Structure 1
Amino acid sequence: MQRSSSMRHIWMRRSAIQRRRIKRVLIGAFAASAVLVDAGAAAAQAAAANEQVAISTPPAGSAAWVADHSLGRALPDPATADATTVAAFFASLTPEQTLRLVAEYPLVVGNLDGAPVETRYQANRVAIAAERDRARARAADQKLDATTRALATSRANDSEGLLAKGRQILAFDPRGRGLVSEVYGDLGSAQRVSVLVPGSDADLAHFDQTADPLRSPAGMARALVAEEHRQAADGHTAVIAWTGYVTPSGLGPDAVTSRLADVAAPRLERLLAGLAVTSAPDAPPTLFCHSYGSVVCGVAAPKIHDTRTTDVVVFGSPGMGVQGAAELGEGVRVWATRNPTDWIGNVPYLEVGGLGHGSDPTGRDFGAVEISSAGAAGHTGYLSPGTASLHNFGSIALGDYGDVTHPQS
């Protein structure tokens, strides 16, 4: 009996060692594949990568909000209230009551799916201004070290940029690397709505980049809405750049597991539930999922569709966490593309012990509708002007499926 127990212990130890070796091999394979294509940037990212702390709890101020009974009734709990309940609550408020809640709990109101979008824009301006001022104070604090002050200066500048006239910030959370989502267009009148779900390295500091805009969620969203207007000048559309989850940093361990996607998916589901009660498009929002964002969309897909079909477009995808589109549910139609120069095509399309993201969405047997990305280059070139992928994204967003082009067989 003692010998059997000893042998079992040895076997379990060897299995654990083997699992760790498999993990190291897969992580190395993902990083090395990218390094072969872009040695400098990918290697630097892989070396600097750290596991990220996912944000799953309501924003700051939520505890005080729940404890506030000054209106003579309970306020909807940000952790549990559904979008319909939130919408009904705000519909029952007077303008004065709404303004007071915005002033006292801007982070709660600004992130509450189901609240009126204009109210959320207003609340987020208050929250962003407060974060800018807090960061400026830290930047000027000589008791802090130079690196901390420099980071505070960057945070203040990033926050200030979001306060520019005309910007519509649907969500803002300064915790960690910072979460931010922005609307382009009028959600109230939009007949077609698109949600852009970005991949690794998307956060407040990288939300809107001027040097290489298509590497940022804001730049991609602007390119998509511009294409929609080019194809349908009189169309009523809106695009949401949704950095509503903690994304992987670089090509480290987070990029090869679904851990962050598993936390992100319910947040994406709440966003869509909120849009269902605060906007009225002709069709469910179309999801455009880039890189690791396609893993998020894959996890969320089985719970996001209703009686109408939801279009999910994945590009530069490492996989959706499934072996085929059928696993995502009958109400989901997957469109997929990857250009030949995208390094993501060199990563292993597999899943072993929770590592990797399953089959290639552009594969013949996956079950997605493959679309052309002719003219696109690299991992972030899919929304470049003149590319087939940008044209196709615009057509799908508008519901003009007959205008979509496909790769030549």
Structure 2
Amino acid sequence: MQWTDEEPDAADLPNLLAHKDWAKDRVDEIDQVGRIVQNTVDGIGSAWVGEAAAAWKSGVSEIIEVLSQCKYEYQSLEAALGPLHSGLSSLRSSMDGVRQVEMAWGFTLQEHQGIAEQRASWLIVNDPASRGHSLETVPTIGCYPDDTPDIQRARIDLLAARDMVTTAEKVLAEAQAEREEGVRKRRTLDSDASAALAAAQAAMPKTLPAGIGDGSGVIPVSFGLSLIRKTLAGLSNQQLRDLFGKPGAGGDLAKIFAGKLPAPGDSVPGLGPAVVAALAALVNAPATLDRREKLTVLFAAISPEDASRLALLFPGLGNIDGVPFTARYDANRINVAAALKSRQDNQGVLDQIVKNAQAKLNQAQKNYESGLTTPIKVDNNPYGPASNVNPYLVLLQQAKEALTEAQNAASENFKLSNMSGDPKNWGTYWKYLNELTPTYAIGADGKPALGPDGNYQQQVGHQILVFSDEGPGAVAEVWGNVNTAKQIGVAVPGTTTTMSTFPGASNDQAKTFMDKAFKDKRFDQSMISWAGGEFPQKIPFVEGAGPTPPKSAGDPSYANDLGQRLYRFNDALAAQAPGAKIAVGGHSYGGSVVGEAEQLGMEADRVLFIESAGTGPGVHGIYDYPHANTTKYYQMTAPGDPIFYSQLSGVHGEGPTFDPGITPLETGFLDDTNRPGSGLVQGVDAHGGVFTKGSTAWKNMYGFYTNQQIEAKAAYSFQLTSPGYQPPLIDVGTDQPYAATHTEQEWQITQNAQNTR
């Protein structure tokens, strides 16, 4: 910024400070990149040898040299801008003082010069002793016995004014000297900064590795990701998987890459620039079925290995519909590793927040107890008219709520990130990366593939198809091989589903059915547990929640959002496994989610509403579903399950129990092999009790997902325990969709007739 001798402190200090901080951030970034590059080298180790290894190490050496040069450049820049900013800030402070002095004393000088001139002029006219004098020489001292009182006062005023003018001129002269010193300081600051900036410019690398920057030699504002990606470019997919999987270092690396999508100008060795450019354009566009279709075409033209490589270098692909599922597993391992590391790093902070909240509660409790013995009269208190109340009651309650909130946050974080102790107690994210899970693979002999221990083959980690740790999170898990499956079940859980409770739902509502199918040699089966967004966390009127608590299952907006996501997900699933029959089951609130997806046009072979809140917001009957004539609909609602009241309310659309187009299935007995001796699945506990393994309800869900025989609901509950009762059976594979050709009026007539029977 230009400056003058009058304004030697002229400068854009905020902009200068921003540039200094920018340089410091680049230094910090380079340090981080350097650590990760070194961790990468250490992670590869010395086992990799040969020409490819030598070429890779040469490329890494080049990058390390660039990092060293860049770091020196930015350190030099920070070293130049730091003293310049502090020096100019000090100069600004000094010049502000000078300007204040000049303004105040300049006014004083002008004022008293005027007074002196006025008094001297008056004396020249009215004082005989002053006649013939100039304004500057009019006498003010001496003995003049003939002076009148007016002349005496004029002489005194003139003397005081001349003294003040002298003082002001002296102060202003000192201010001018300080201004001149400021000019000298500014020249010195500029000279020193110019030399430091020249050194910084000289330190800039004359050339950068290919793929870094735009070819101009100018280092991008944030070049770390490009440098690291270049470091990784020479590694195989398996080497990349191993790197990202290493505790600690792998998490640091994952945190930099997590969620990243290809951008224009990115390159991937072995893939043409046109492919990467087309991919970048698509994945940064809005999520639509058209985008999914174009991505499916794009990935069909490249190999699975190249698809996985893209996913490993751009893990944001893990949540993009249209990307091959196996590639998404690779991407989401990185996203999970990043979330795990972030949560581990944050656990100490959350624990400290709990300690602070506990200390505040302890103090609030003491204050409250003191208030019990010394009540204070409070006017305008929230509890009514003025009265003797304990003023600390509200603060105590707030402190309790703050502690509960802090404890819940710390507990949830620990449940997701714990890496120690019994594997059963591992955190969810650590399990996703390290827990042994069955592959459900089939060998060349058509029999289940076995591991070294002679048991079913296992793999390290889970197949995570959707993953986000942002906000309430999102997750979906695949059991089995979708690419070879002929029957695919999609299970959608309900209220209170979170990232930490999802594994239980995934096991109960998907994995147990997959295990049974594999045992039954139904090797064409795959199961998916899907929780692709935020679910409500409270149930109206339960645990004092009230009729409309925050995040309530009585709010259909969650179903609207989740239904949209499920609709798009199902479209991607159908494209990934063409020819497979897809069965979608929604439990509780998940039933409303499934209904919303159906209303949007989701195509499934069959749908099951399991203890469902409804058939979807705004749905009056299955005639509202675009594919009702080609989809088979079933429902199960156990006797005494309070979800029945949700179905009656209509908040989540028509209750599946009342829809004649939806076939009711039996929930039956807790142990279907011991009927009628076993107890019935009924009452409040039946809402989750339907997933009791071996129950009639569980067997019906298994038959639904695997396209087998299921049991229709008895006309009357007492028939279940009647001797010789033969339950009505339905073969899902040959069952036909209900002829949903009614008008809404005809449907209502049919429904009314059904309800009066």
| TM bucket, shorter chain | 0.7 to 0.9
* Cross-structure match for 1:393: 701
For 1:118 and 1:96, the matched residues in 2 are separated by: 10
Query: What does 1:286-305 correspond to in 2, within 5 Å?
Result: 286-305=583-602
For 1:95 and 1:301, the matched residues in 2 are separated by: 32
Q: Offset at 1:86?
A: 1.4
Q: Offset at 1:244?
A: 0.7
Corresponding letter in the other structure for 1:393: M
* Cross-structure match for 2:469: 174
Q: Structure 1's 134 and 394: CA in aligned 2 closer, same or farther, altered over 3 A? A: same
Q: Residue 236 of structure 1: which of 501, 505, 524 is its match? A: 524
Task: Decide which moves more: 155-164 or 78-87.
Answer: 78-87
Q: Structure 1's 267 and 93: CA in aligned 2 closer, same or farther, altered over 3 A? A: same
Corresponding letter in the other structure for 1:220: Q
Q: Offset at 1:176?
A: 1.3
SS at match of 1:136: helix
For 2:637 and 2:302, the matched residues in 1 are separated by: 48
SS at match of 1:312: strand
Q: Structure 1's 315 and 281: CA in aligned 2 closer, same or farther, altered over 3 A? A: same
For 1:206 and 1:346, the matched residues in 2 are separated by: 25
* Cross-structure match for 2:431: 161
For 1:112 and 1:282, the matched residues in 2 are separated by: 21
Q: Structure 1's 237 and 143: CA in aligned 2 closer, same or farther, altered over 3 A? A: closer
* Cross-structure match for 1:274: 572
* Cross-structure match for 2:666: 372
SS at match of 2:633: strand
Q: Structure 1's 245 and 143: CA in aligned 2 closer, same or farther, altered over 3 A? A: closer
Q: Residue 262 of structure 2: which of 60, 65, 68 is its match? A: 65
**Is residue 272–residue 304 contact of structure 1 (8 Å, CA) maintained in 2?**
no
Q: Offset at 1:374?
A: 0.5
* Cross-structure match for 2:287: 80
**Is residue 374–residue 389 contact of structure 1 (8 Å, CA) maintained in 2?**
yes
Corresponding letter in the other structure for 1:404: E
Q: Structure 1's 97 and 191: CA in aligned 2 closer, same or farther, altered over 3 A? A: closer
**Is residue 567–residue 602 contact of structure 2 (8 Å, CA) maintained in 1?**
no
SS at match of 1:170: strand
CA deviation profile, 1:347-403 (whole Å, cap 9, x unmatched): 46133xxxx12332112x4421011000234211112122222111222222224x4
Gaps of 5+ in 2: 1-256, 268-272, 355-405, 418-426, 436-459, 540-548, 670-680, 717-757
**Is residue 349–residue 357 contact of structure 1 (8 Å, CA) maintained in 2?**
no
**Is residue 255–residue 292 contact of structure 1 (8 Å, CA) maintained in 2?**
yes
CA deviation profile, 1:100-139 (whole Å, cap 9, x unmatched): 5323421x21111121111111111111111111111111
**Is residue 489–residue 528 contact of structure 2 (8 Å, CA) maintained in 1?**
yes
**Is residue 318–residue 344 contact of structure 1 (8 Å, CA) maintained in 2?**
yes
* Cross-structure match for 1:44: none
SS at match of 2:609: strand
For 1:235 and 1:94, the matched residues in 2 are separated by: 26
Corresponding letter in the other structure for 1:77: V
Q: Structure 1's 305 and 128: CA in aligned 2 closer, same or farther, altered over 3 A? A: closer
Corresponding letter in the other structure for 2:469: P
For 1:347 and 1:358, the matched residues in 2 are separated by: 9
Q: Offset at 1:60?
A: 7.5
SS at match of 1:349: helix
**Is residue 663–residue 712 contact of structure 2 (8 Å, CA) maintained in 1?**
no
**Is residue 322–residue 572 contact of structure 2 (8 Å, CA) maintained in 1?**
yes
Q: Offset at 1:315?
A: 1.2
Verify: 1:327 aligned to 2:594, yes or no.
Answer: no
Corresponding letter in the other structure for 2:513: L
The runs of at least 4 aligned residues of structure 1 exceeding 6 Å deviation read none
* Cross-structure match for 1:249: 537
* Cross-structure match for 1:120: 328
Q: Structure 1's 393 and 67: CA in aligned 2 closer, same or farther, altered over 3 A? A: same
Task: Decide which moves more: 389-398 or 65-74.
Answer: 65-74
For 1:195 and 1:360, the matched residues in 2 are separated by: 21
Gaps of 5+ in 1: 1-58, 210-215
**Is residue 301–residue 332 contact of structure 1 (8 Å, CA) maintained in 2?**
no
* Cross-structure match for 2:514: 225
Structure 1 vs Structure 2: percent identity of aligned residues? 24
* Cross-structure match for 1:186: 481
Q: Structure 1's 304 and 226: CA in aligned 2 closer, same or farther, altered over 3 A? A: farther
Q: Offset at 1:153?
A: 2.6
Q: Structure 1's 305 and 357: CA in aligned 2 closer, same or farther, altered over 3 A? A: closer
SS at match of 1:336: strand
Q: Offset at 1:226?
A: 3.0
Q: Residue 384 of structure 1: which of 692, 695, 702 is its match? A: 692
For 1:142 and 1:205, the matched residues in 2 are separated by: 17
Q: Structure 1's 94 and 239: CA in aligned 2 closer, same or farther, altered over 3 A? A: closer
Larger radius of gyration: 2
TM-score (norm: length of structure 1): 0.74
SS at match of 1:297: helix
For 1:361 and 1:101, the matched residues in 2 are separated by: 44
Q: Structure 1's 140 and 324: CA in aligned 2 closer, same or farther, altered over 3 A? A: same
SS at match of 1:145: helix
Query: What does 1:256-271 correspond to in 2, within 5 Å?
Result: 256-271=554-569
Q: Return the structure number with greater helix share.
A: 2
For 1:373 and 1:142, the matched residues in 2 are separated by: 44
Q: Residue 413 of structure 2: which of 152, 156, 168 is its match? A: 152
For 2:305 and 2:713, the matched residues in 1 are separated by: 54
- The alignment of Structure 1 onto Structure 2 pairs a total of residues equal to 333
Q: Structure 1's 150 and 248: CA in aligned 2 closer, same or farther, altered over 3 A? A: closer
**Is residue 192–residue 281 contact of structure 1 (8 Å, CA) maintained in 2?**
no
For 1:99 and 1:334, the matched residues in 2 are separated by: 37
CA deviation profile, 1:319-359 (whole Å, cap 9, x unmatched): 113232222232332101111132212446133xxxx1233
For 1:311 and 1:217, the matched residues in 2 are separated by: 20
For 2:349 and 2:691, the matched residues in 1 are separated by: 42
Q: Structure 1's 335 and 102: CA in aligned 2 closer, same or farther, altered over 3 A? A: same
Verify: 1:349 aligned to 2:644, yes or no.
Answer: no
CA deviation profile, 1:128-159 (whole Å, cap 9, x unmatched): 11111111111144895234555433331221
Q: Structure 1's 153 and 234: CA in aligned 2 closer, same or farther, altered over 3 A? A: closer
Q: Structure 1's 61 and 229: CA in aligned 2 closer, same or farther, altered over 3 A? A: closer
For 1:96 and 1:400, the matched residues in 2 are separated by: 36
For 1:282 and 1:142, the matched residues in 2 are separated by: 46
Corresponding letter in the other structure for 2:561: V
